[in-house]
Amino acid sequence: MTMIKSRAIKLTVAHINDTHSYFEPTSLQLNIAYNGKESSPFVSAGGFARIKTRVEQLRHQALVNKQGFLFLHAGDCFQGTLYYSLFKGEANSTLLNQLNLDAMAVGNHELDMGNLPVAEFANRIDFPLLAGNWDLSNESSDKPMVLSGNPNVYSYKPSTKSAQWIVKHVEEEPVAVFSLALDKMADISNPDSDTPFVNCIETANNTVTQIRKAGINKIILLSHMGYEADLDLANHVEGISLIVGGHSHVLQGDFSDLGLGKNDVYGVKVKDTHVVQAGFHALALGHSQIEFDEFGRVTHFKGKNELLIGRRLFVDTSRNNSWHEDDYLQLKKQVDEHPNVVVCRKDPTIKLILKERYQSRVSELQQTYIASTERKLRHVRIPDEKGGSDIAPLVADSFRHMMRKQGYTAQFAIHNAGGVRNSINQGAISVADIAGKVLPFLVPIGVYQIKGKYIAEILEGAINNATNNGVEGTGSGSYPYVAGLRFDYNALAPQGQRIEQLAIMIDGIWQSVDAETCYCGTSSAYTMKGKEGYEAILNMDGEGQVTNYSMADCFIDYLQDKPEVLNTNCVTGVSKGH
């Protein structure tokens, strides 16, 4: 590849990813050892107001140091909290505009409800939306709103099989930024069928070639492919200096002293490419200080992820009579002076927008209580030594409950583990807890008729996918939880024969599932599309029927009607083998 002579520059890149509508700070529990003691204080962490404050500090510092500055979002701003459930993408566009982003990547959750919400979002934002391997060239023009032709959207160019890119200038020196999303987007999200995603590595190689032909040798990839895919791509594509990633929620750096774990070092280097990612839910901000030589090579790289917290530390001293004020001061000092922590004030403009436009409706739901639990209800995707999810089987049963109330004869329910996002703590449960935390994704529920022989195929396909058992899976989120069914999964059996003892409850009695009998099932519309190992569900009779009830609608109604279920055990499928 021809070396392009240009100028050496210094550049700061700040970045966030997978913010999922977490505009407000999160109450985050830390686990800290000090002076032979253990403490689990809470801090107010993250939120868009703190991100804005810290970004502006870094932007000013870059100006003082005569460096360029970029602020990038690596995708998945949609879904996640009540702010999305209530206001859809409008709140995201308003608040992201306040952050003064230089660019954002399209993530898979932007497309959960198809192209239209993204098209509406793209019309409201004042920064580029990058989707370099999203082919919009054959998008139908008769939709309510189209993405192709929108000047804010930088998509795939079929003529060169490359991504469109943006150019930012640092001391008149051009820096190119392009984006890729995982090419299996149709498997885990819902892009319209006329707008496919194409191969990442091929697109990346072609894009680097085109950028260098344009005389630019400083190249940044804004990725929503996932951490492992980012590391892999760096092995296959030369010429990319920095990959700013998302999708996998990886918080690079050592946060073990705070009880938040330890991942790869920030900016892990693969060949000549540095790869960064900054966690999730707007808790942290990453920033890299990069020096390029005139040939586009990175000659110096330094940076870190910072957990952004408030000035206060909250400690429960009720169970510790030996606690003294000196303990608090020492603990606070240890947190505040952690190398990956920044104590950060909230930006007043974002605070005001949240208060005046959005918070009152959110607060109303936060104060509407529907049930309570005597124990913590744990959610895990794949069952472990403690068992499976306490919540996902109840969610599945809520689908069946709601569909029966609507007049459907739903006999069983299957729900993917990834549709449930959080555990439930002991105590009272509000509408906001369900719709904003446990089931924040706006996905409707449907019903379908399907023969018994395909039920076993659905369950096995989903578990095979979740555990990579004989297939290359798309992640643990596909693991199935059920209501009205019970089964064993034998991981050691031949593929196609791993579901054993499959039974269905009919009129209060467990019966073996008959291969040729047609049963009525209920699942989310996402699962009904046969994604992530659920292909066998496409053998349903006809297309099924999707209702207007969301996952959260079903679970809220279920808890109001049957609050006692939170303190009893559910029967679900069991895995055996390894």
pLDDT digits (tens, 9 = 90+) for 541-575: 998 998 889 899 999 999 999 999 998 764 444 44
Query: What's the Cα-to-Cα distance from 304 to each of 253, 277, 343, 423, rounded to whole Å?
Result: 7, 10, 15, 29
- Residue 108 in tokens: 């898979």
Angle, CA 314 vertex, CA 311 and CA 316 arms, to 5° = 165
- d(C-alpha 446, C-alpha 553), whole Å: 13
- d(C-alpha 279, C-alpha 281), whole Å: 7
Query: What's the Cα-to-Cα distance from 42 to each of 29, 160, 331, 349, 416, rounded to whole Å?
Result: 4, 52, 11, 26, 31
Q: What is the pLDDT of residue 384?
A: 92
Q: Are 180 and 245 in contact (CB under 8 A)?
A: no
Strands 509-512 and 499-506: antiparallel
- Give this prediction's pTM: 0.83
Per-residue burial over 365-402, b if 16 or more Cβ lie within 10 Å, else e, is beeeebbebeeebebbbebeeeebbbbbbbbbbbbbbb
SS3 343: strand
* Type of residue found at 472: E
CB atoms within 10 A of CB 198: 17
Query: What's the Cα-to-Cα distance from 221 to each of 20, 76, 157, 285, rounded to whole Å?
Result: 21, 16, 16, 18
SS3 416: strand
- d(C-alpha 214, C-alpha 237), whole Å: 18
CB atoms within 10 A of CB 479: 27
Q: What is the pLDDT of residue 271?
A: 96
- Residue 556 in tokens: 């809220």
Q: Are 114 and 195 in contact (CB under 8 A)?
A: no
Q: What is the pLDDT of residue 571?
A: 43
Residue 279 CA, chain-centre distance (Å), reads: 10
Q: Are 411 and 519 in contact (CB under 8 A)?
A: yes
* Type and span of the H or E element at 166: strand 166-170
**Which residues are 306's β-sheet partners?**
285
- d(C-alpha 341, C-alpha 316), whole Å: 22
Please report the beta strands in 36-115, taking only residues with DSSP state E, as ranges in sequence order. 37-39, 42-45, 68-73, 103-105
Strands 298-314 and 42-45: antiparallel
Query: What's the Cα-to-Cα distance from 155 to each of 135, 142, 150, 519, rounded to whole Å?
Result: 6, 20, 10, 43
Residue linked to tokens 């952050």: 99
543 Cβ contact partners less than 8 Å away, ≥ 6 residues apart: none
Q: What is the pLDDT of residue 442?
A: 84
Q: What is the pLDDT of residue 324?
A: 73
Dihedral of alpha carbons 562, 563, 569, 574, sign? positive
The low-confidence residues of the chain, meaning pLDDT below 50, are 1-2, 570-578
Nearest to 148 by CA among 162, 131, 168: 131
